């Protein structure tokens, strides 16, 4: 991935040959993800994600985008739905498939409760009809399987939402604008337009009985166990932190080597405390981030509740660490850090998304603050 990173960043296209190679070695597959999720310590996943991102975060995200769709199915679907659709999120090495998880809308990013995409049940045909526009969706429009979160009863806010599988080639789903981005440019990000998009009744994740029960409880004002999209994000946050960590470690290692080589005023720049102390702080923050990521991953795998927002802590700290470390790395490389011939400026561009997607840093702080205080802080 490293030698290919610059090319795919410039091309801003899905790196199909590399996804194919990942499929051939078994990395891009339902089996690999299932094995990583099943591994008892919970650490296989963050280790793999850190390494992928160390190789290249954009290509890494192109390989991992499908896993977000899979996570949407795993958190809200029945075991039968997971076994039916999970493998289809990846396809086979001979016929690669992609998945996407479509929640965000132009007026509903952090505020997932105000989704406008509607899902209406057509009882006569046992079909759901989806209408709306999703935005900034990784693999949006090019995916074979789209997992779409839509509102069934807008008056109930997030409790009136459900997740749906949109199977391959379903009429009524199309790609809108493809976005040109600051970083992770090998990962495709686009709008997804749903226009009278009909999916069979069995594509409602969790099934109709469970949804009816959930809606009825919400209408009676009975407390819920959490909203559909949020459940997915809770499970995937430490993994997102692990990706940020991979970028941070790449930049740290590169700038450490550079600081030992680069001479100014007749000595290696690392001999200046101002440079050496930066590297000491970079290493310390990266290790602290990794411990938070591993703790949350272990807790998630072993059924421990995130009582203090530990999943959010890991993603927040690792994301902000990656932004900070990559900026310091640019400083250590000086002019070489700022030009595209060197990878460091790309790492800085790639790192910034980790304070934005899957919950911004502000939203992570809200979650932690609410968890530790029990107060509904706004």
Ligand X SMILES: Cc1cc2nc3c(=O)[nH]c(=O)nc-3n(C[C@H](O)[C@H](O)[C@H](O)COP(=O)(O)OP(=O)(O)OC[C@H]3O[C@@H](n4cnc5c(N)ncnc54)[C@H](O)[C@@H]3O)c2cc1C
Which active-site residues does the annotation give? 358
Is 236 a binding residue for ligand X by CB under 6 A? The answer is no
Question: What tokens appear for 368 in the block?
Answer: 């932690």
Is 98 a binding residue for ligand X by CB under 6 A? The answer is no
- In terms of CB distance, is 69 or 337 closer to ligand X? 69
Number of Cβ within a 10 Å radius of residue 41: 12
**Contact at 8 Å (CB) between 199 and 167?**
yes
- In terms of CB distance, is 38 or 372 closer to ligand X? 372
Residue environment code for 202-215, b if the CB has 16+ CB neighbours within 10 A, otherwise e = ebbbbeeeebeebb
Is 101 a binding residue for ligand X by CB under 6 A? The answer is yes
Question: What tokens appear for 257 in the block?
Answer: 């080597």
- In terms of CB distance, is 47 or 103 closer to ligand X? 103
Angle at 145 between CA 52 and CA 20, to 5 degrees: 40
CB of 212 to ligand X, least distance (A): 25
- Give the one residue of 22, 23, 103, 150 binding ligand X; rule: CB under 6 A: 103
Is 102 a binding residue for ligand X by CB under 6 A? The answer is yes
Question: What tokens appear for 123 in the block?
Answer: 């009882």
Distance CA 307, CA 262 (A): 47
CB of 125 to ligand X, least distance (A): 28
Is 370 a binding residue for ligand X by CB under 6 A? The answer is no
By CB under 6 A, the residues from 300 to 359 that bind ligand X are: 353, 356-358
**Contact at 8 Å (CB) between 135 and 210?**
no
Is 286 a binding residue for ligand X by CB under 6 A? The answer is no
- Give the one residue of 189, 227, 236, 326 binding ligand X; rule: CB under 6 A: 189
Question: Which residues are bridge partners to 132 per DSSP?
Answer: 194
By CB under 6 A, the residues from 58 to 77 that bind ligand X are: 68
CB of 53 to ligand X, least distance (A): 14
Closest residue (Cβ) to ligand X? 109
- Give the one residue of 87, 109, 157, 176 binding ligand X; rule: CB under 6 A: 109
Nearest Cα to Cα of residue 147 among 87, 101, 113: 101
Residue environment code for 83-115, b if the CB has 16+ CB neighbours within 10 A, otherwise e = eebbbbbbbebeebbbbbbbbbbeebbeebbeb
- In terms of CB distance, is 78 or 114 closer to ligand X? 114
CB of 244 to ligand X, least distance (A): 13
Distance CA 307, CA 368 (A): 9
Is 364 a binding residue for ligand X by CB under 6 A? The answer is no
- In terms of CB distance, is 141 or 337 closer to ligand X? 141
Is 136 a binding residue for ligand X by CB under 6 A? The answer is yes
Is 54 a binding residue for ligand X by CB under 6 A? The answer is no
The DSSP H or E segment spanning 178 is: strand 173-178
Stretch that binds ligand X, among 206-214, 239-247, 332-340, 360-368 (CB under 6 A): 360-368
- In terms of CB distance, is 108 or 259 closer to ligand X? 108
Q: What are phi and psi of 107, to 5 degrees?
A: -110, 15
Question: Which residues are bridge partners to 120 per DSSP?
Answer: 129
Distance CA 6, CA 180 (A): 16
Distance CA 213, CA 226 (A): 14
- In terms of CB distance, is 217 or 370 closer to ligand X? 370
- Give the one residue of 24, 26, 38, 110 binding ligand X; rule: CB under 6 A: 110
**Contact at 8 Å (CB) between 150 and 162?**
yes
Is 113 a binding residue for ligand X by CB under 6 A? The answer is no
- Give the one residue of 67, 76, 138, 255 binding ligand X; rule: CB under 6 A: 138
Contacts with ligand X, residue ranges (CB under 6 A) = 68, 101-104, 109-111, 136-138, 181, 189, 353, 356-358, 360, 362-363, 366
């Amino acid at each position: 991935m490293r030698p290919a990173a610059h090319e795919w960043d410039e091309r801003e296209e899905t790196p199909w040959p590399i996804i194919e190679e990942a499929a051939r070695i078994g990395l891009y597959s339902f089996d690999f993800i299932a094995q990583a999720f099943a591994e008892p310590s919970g650490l296989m996943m963050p280790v793999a994600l850190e390494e992928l991102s160390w190789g290249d975060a954009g290509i890494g995200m192109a390989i991992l985008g499908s896993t977000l769709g899979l996570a949407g199915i795993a958190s809200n679907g029945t075991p039968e739905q997971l076994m039916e659709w999970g493998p289809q999120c990846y396809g086979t090495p001979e016929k690669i498939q992609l998945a996407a998880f479509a929640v965000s809308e132009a007026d509903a990013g952090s505020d997932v409760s105000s989704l406008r995409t509607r899902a209406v049940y057509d009882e006569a045909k046992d079909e759901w009809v989806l209408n709306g526009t999703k935005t900034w969706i990784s693999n949006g429009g090019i995916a074979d399987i789209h997992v779409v979160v839509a509102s069934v009863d807008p008056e109930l806010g997030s409790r009136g939402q459900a997740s749906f599988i949109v199977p391959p080639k379903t009429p009524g789903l199309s790609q809108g604008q493809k976005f040109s981005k600051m970083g992770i440019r090998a990962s495709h990000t686009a709008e997804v337009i749903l226009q009278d998009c009909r999916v069979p009744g069995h594509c409602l994740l969790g099934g109709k009985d469970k949804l009816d029960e959930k809606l009825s409880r919400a209408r009676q004002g009975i407390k819920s166990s959490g909203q559909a999209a949020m459940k997915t994000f809770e499970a995937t946050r430490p993994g997102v932190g692990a990706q940020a960590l991979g970028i941070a470690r790449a930049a740290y290692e590169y700038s450490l080597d550079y600081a030992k080589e680069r001479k100014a005023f007749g000595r290696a720049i690392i001999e200046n405390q101002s440079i050496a102390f930066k590297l000491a702080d970079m290493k310390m923050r990266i290790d602290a981030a990794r411990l938070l990521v591993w703790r949350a991953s272990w807790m998630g795998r072993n059924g421990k509740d995130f009582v203090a927002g530990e999943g959010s802590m890991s993603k927040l700290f690792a994301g902000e660490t990656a932004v900070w470390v990559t900026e310091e790395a640019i400083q250590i490389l000086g002019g070489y850090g700022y030009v595209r011939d060197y990878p460091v400026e790309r790492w800085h561009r790639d790192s910034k998304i980790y304070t934005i997607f899957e919950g911004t840093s502000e939203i992570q702080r809200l979650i932690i603050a609410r968890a530790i205080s029990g107060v509904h802080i706004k």
